Amino acid sequence: MPLALLRLRLRLRLLLLALALLLVASSGVASGQDTERIEGSAGDVLEDDPVGRLKVYVYELPTKYNKKMVAKDSRCLSHMFAAEIFMHRFLLSSAIRTVNPEEADWFYTPVYTTCDLTPWGHPLPFKSPRIMRSAIQFVSSHWPYWNRTEGADHFFVVPHDFGACFHYQEEKAIERGILPLLRRATLVQTFGQKDHVCLKEGSINIPPYAPPQKMKTHLVPPETPRSIFVYFRGLFYDTANDPEGGYYARGARASVWENFKNNPLFDISTDHPPTYYEDMQRSIFCLCPLGWAPWSPRLVEAVVFGCIPVIIADDIVLPFADAIPWDEIGVFVAEDDVPKLDTILTSIPMEVILRKQRLLANPSMKQAMLFPQPAQPGDAFHQILNGLARKLPHHNLNSGHKVLNWTQGPLGDLKPW
């Protein structure tokens, strides 16, 4: 056969193969399930690999700041504030850690401020300002890097109710404000509300810790039909702390109860059933209303179990808001619109609901909300590092004049720890 004809045939075959590959790639069907790529305002960054984009130096603090606290009470490893401990452990063995502080872009101070627990397991924030201050004093006296930039290239993980305001009551937290010494540092926190004192500009918002192993053991087959329309389990009235009502959750949870307790579409109660996780996987919408603080692990659970989160918290800032387009994934309902919740939910167009489910089914979305041990690519640890990498290169590192006032703040905070 003539050579030219053979060559033509080969080229045709290659072209056909390329076309076929293109078709397969564009259809994007993976194992019979349609998922959509998730792109936030920062672009398609959920699957970025932070290795090579930044270097983090981990300070070695005395164990009284970290290990001894965990040894005193091991519940710190499983409550919703455990992200600070796991972040430390992850950084210690990560590829982005550097032992040469001169080449580090970011400095991490491993101080566990949310590990002072009451007998019931609730963290007490009263000593946290002192603990943080003491840690910063240690760091600034043993290494020159804090004083060099006044902490502008340092980051801290503060997963408590109102972040670095270190109080569980919102009014007191607002009164205290963010710890003055952390004014220049970057805060990695779970709390996020627009124009709130306790959310600094440039903070990285993270999801609260939810135990990934426990959630994995409660998975049901995905073909289980979703037969619950709206699901919620939790308190509506906090009679211990807010006997009159109207204070807790700004009245939103009580409003949900009063308006929808008779509605069979709403499976809401204060029970704690053993099938909580399984029930979430059988629901289409999961309510995530605010409590004493706007964030809760419910968001993480809803995302992992594929239930569309209905977020009832005005002005809330959700985790990794620049990487995850939350308004395309969740439903946002203003607290004033709670009485109309059923109308709102039933009037969402069908394509929108199906699209939200497709986005939620994306495994990278679920992975980004979890803190698995050991760390896996795309998980919350990596998203935090990606966020830190996106903040590079540093601007305004040396502002020239000294901004931090070491004696600022309530007198009680100045006591050494």
Per rule CB under 8 A, is residue 259 in the interface with another protein?
A: yes
Edge to edge, what strands does the sheet with 186-189 contain? Answer: 56-58, 106-108, 154-158, 186-189, 204-205
Q: Among the candidate windows 50-58, 98-106, 288-296, 366-374, which touches another protein by CB under 8 A?
A: 288-296
Rounded distance, CA 339 to CA 33, Å? 36
In the complex with another protein, the residue whose CB is nearer, 58 or 380, is: 380
In the complex with another protein, the residue whose CB is nearer, 213 or 227, is: 227
Kindly report each contact of residues 301-305 with a partner whose C-beta sits within 8 Å and lies 24 or more positions away, as own/partner. 301/210, 301/215, 301/277, 303/329, 303/360, 303/365, 303/366, 303/369, 304/210, 304/215, 304/366, 304/369, 304/370, 305/215, 305/277, 305/280, 305/281
Which one among 241, 270, 275, 376 touches another protein, defined by CB under 8 A?
241
Rounded distance, CA 338 to CA 354, Å? 23
Rounded distance, CA 76 to CA 112, Å? 9
DSSP state of 236: S
In the complex with another protein, the residue whose CB is nearer, 93 or 347, is: 347
Per rule CB under 8 A, is residue 293 in the interface with another protein?
A: yes
Per rule CB under 8 A, is residue 42 in the interface with another protein?
A: no
Per rule CB under 8 A, is residue 223 in the interface with another protein?
A: yes
Which one among 151, 291, 309, 330 touches another protein, defined by CB under 8 A?
291
Task: State the minimum distance, in angstroms, from the CB of residue 43 to another protein.
Answer: 26
Q: Scan residues 260-279 and list those touching another protein (CB under 8 A).
A: 260-265
Inter-CA distances, 125 with 132, 162, 273, 412, Å: 11, 10, 30, 13
Q: Scan residues 94-123 and list those touching another protein (CB under 8 A).
A: 118, 120, 122-123
Which one among 196, 288, 301, 386 touches another protein, defined by CB under 8 A?
196
Q: Scan residues 340-399 and list those touching another protein (CB under 8 A).
A: 340, 342-343, 345-348, 350, 353-354, 357, 361
β-strands 266-269, 56-58 pairing? unpaired
Per rule CB under 8 A, is residue 296 in the interface with another protein?
A: yes
Per rule CB under 8 A, is residue 161 in the interface with another protein?
A: yes
Q: Among the candidate windows 5-13, 86-94, 227-235, 319-327, which touches another protein by CB under 8 A?
A: 227-235
Task: State the minimum distance, in angstroms, from the CB of residue 93 to another protein.
Answer: 29
Q: Among the candidate windows 10-18, 54-62, 286-294, 371-379, which touches another protein by CB under 8 A?
A: 286-294
Residue with tokens 């939200």: 356
Q: Which amino acid is at 363?
A: P
DSSP codes, 385-410? HHHHHHTPSPSSS--SS----TT-S-
Per rule CB under 8 A, is residue 169 in the interface with another protein?
A: yes
Angle at 38 between CA 90 and CA 337, to 5 degrees: 100
Which one among 255, 362, 367, 386 touches another protein, defined by CB under 8 A?
255
Rounded distance, CA 129 to CA 238, Å? 27
Per rule CB under 8 A, is residue 225 in the interface with another protein?
A: yes
Task: State the minimum distance, in angstroms, from the CB of residue 314 to another protein.
Answer: 5
Q: Scan residues 13-32 and list those touching another protein (CB under 8 A).
A: 32
Q: Among the candidate windows 37-45, 141-149, 212-220, 336-344, which touches another protein by CB under 8 A?
A: 336-344
Which residues does residue 267 pair with via DSSP β-bridges, in sequence order?
231
Rounded distance, CA 377 to CA 383, Å? 9
Task: State the minimum distance, in angstroms, from the CB of residue 310 to another protein.
Answer: 13
In the complex with another protein, the residue whose CB is nearer, 50 or 192, is: 192
Per rule CB under 8 A, is residue 414 in the interface with another protein?
A: no
Rounded distance, CA 250 to CA 53, Å? 42
In the complex with another protein, the residue whose CB is nearer, 31 or 217, is: 31
In the complex with another protein, the residue whose CB is nearer, 170 or 279, is: 170
Which one among 99, 201, 217, 271 touches another protein, defined by CB under 8 A?
201
How many positions of this chain bind another protein (CB under 8 A)?
81
Task: State the minimum distance, in angstroms, from the CB of residue 194 to another protein.
Answer: 7
Taking the C-alpha atoms of 110, 317, 321 and 285 in order, what is their torsion angle to the nearest 10 degrees? 110
In the complex with another protein, the residue whose CB is nearer, 77 or 235, is: 235
Burial of residue 407 (number of CB atoms within 10 Å: 0-12, 13-18, 19+): exposed
- Residues 215-239 as b/e (b if ≥16 CB within 10 A, e otherwise) read beebeeeeeeebebbbbbbbebbbe
